[in-house]
Structure 1
Amino acid sequence: MRKGSVKEVLAKIKYDPREDEGNYYIVIEHRGSYGNEKKIPVEMIELGHGYFFVGEAQIPYHRILRVVRRDGKVVWESRKLRD
């Protein structure tokens, strides 16, 4: 797994020319639905300061559970899942 904050990992995926953001997705905890997870392709998100955006929706970074490559390899995982 990569080290750093989820925002740092996503910025590397989105802005490093050696990466293809189309090869990644994030898994978020869907608000209001305990245990309900949702996959979002990284290419659909815009990074902000304390939030990321999917269209008009503003979602805090702490809702991200993991960042995953399309081949299934987890490249970042929330501490709350590792503890």
Structure 2
Amino acid sequence: MRKGSVKEVLAKIKYDPRENESDYYIVIEHRGAYGDVKKIPVEMIELGHGYFFVGEAQIPYHRILRVVKKNGTVVWETRKL
């Protein structure tokens, strides 16, 4: 399941022509509040160096808890869970 950093996994999903980014979403911890999580479709994010962007919002990669395929398959999960 966990192969590489979350940024590497997201880059593969977004830029590999064999992948369809609309098939994936990320689960993030919102503002570090335990239990306050949000789902964001991968197609809505732009990758940066230490952060990713959703519109104007800049969010650090360490807030990502997991990357999930819409069929429920977890493709990456943080070790801190």
Both structures adopt the same fold (TM-score exceeding 0.5): yes
Alignment correspondent of 1:38: 38
- What aligned pairs does 1:53-72 form with structure 2 within 5 A after superposition? 53-72=53-72
Partners of 2:34 and 2:3 lie apart in 1 by 27
Alignment correspondent of 1:76: 76
Aligned pairs, how many? 81
Identity of aligned residues (%): 86
Partners of 1:51 and 1:38 lie apart in 2 by 16
Q: Which runs of 4+ in 1 moved over 2 A?
A: none
Partners of 2:32 and 2:19 lie apart in 1 by 33
Query: What's the TM-score once normalised by structure 1's chain length?
Result: 0.94
CA RMSD, Structure 1 to Structure 2 (Å):
0.9
Contact map agreement 2:13 2:21 (CA 8 A) in 1: yes
Partners of 1:67 and 1:10 lie apart in 2 by 8
Q: Deviations over 1:24-66 (max 9, x none)?
A: 0000001153211100000000000000000000000000000
Partners of 1:16 and 1:37 lie apart in 2 by 27
Partners of 2:72 and 2:34 lie apart in 1 by 23
